[in-house]
Amino acid sequence: MNTCPDIATLRTLIPATAGESIEVVSYYPDWHGEDKLQSGGGVFIASNDPGLIDDAGIYIKPNSQWTWIRVLNSHSLVSPNMFGARGNGIADDTRALSAAFLTAYDTVCQQGATYMTSDTVRIKNGTPNKKVINLNGATIKAK
């Protein structure tokens, strides 16, 4: 399996075939660590389904034809960091928090992180399904 350093680089890689897989080390080039959940890294599989929409975390589109899909199963957890949240108390994490919370997956935040928001963070996606959002000691603050 090929390796890619970060999501920005993944956005430049056009798959050769559907089903091709690649491991992304972390969401940002300056993030490192073995915990793929909190570093934003993970394994992605190529799909040529044109109906998929880039959400900056589970679906990454390098162009209009191809989409890299994060490999998750029904018991997987997601983190706002998988959608680009920095949790550093400075960056605006509104979009990333909403994207993570609106997935069908249970969500766990980075322990001790401070997520800054500039707008409403949506946590319900309109389905009757219940999910768990574990703040894990993180703080969500308005800018």
Label residues 123-135 b or e (16+ Cβ within 10 Å = b): eeeeeeeebeeee
H/E element, 37: helix 36-39
Nearest in space to 90 (alpha carbons), one of 32, 124, 34, 141: 141
Over residues 7-41, the pLDDT tens digits come to 999 999 999 999 999 999 999 998 766 666 678 99
For the residues 116-124, what does the mean pLDDT come to? 89
How is residue 62 written in tokens? Answer: 């390098």
- What does the pLDDT read at residue 77? 92
pLDDT (tens digit per residue) in 50-89:
899 999 999 999 999 999 999 999 889 999 999 999 999 9
Q: What per-residue confidence (pLDDT) applies to 33?
A: 63
Q: Which two tokens stand for residue 63?
A: 């162009």
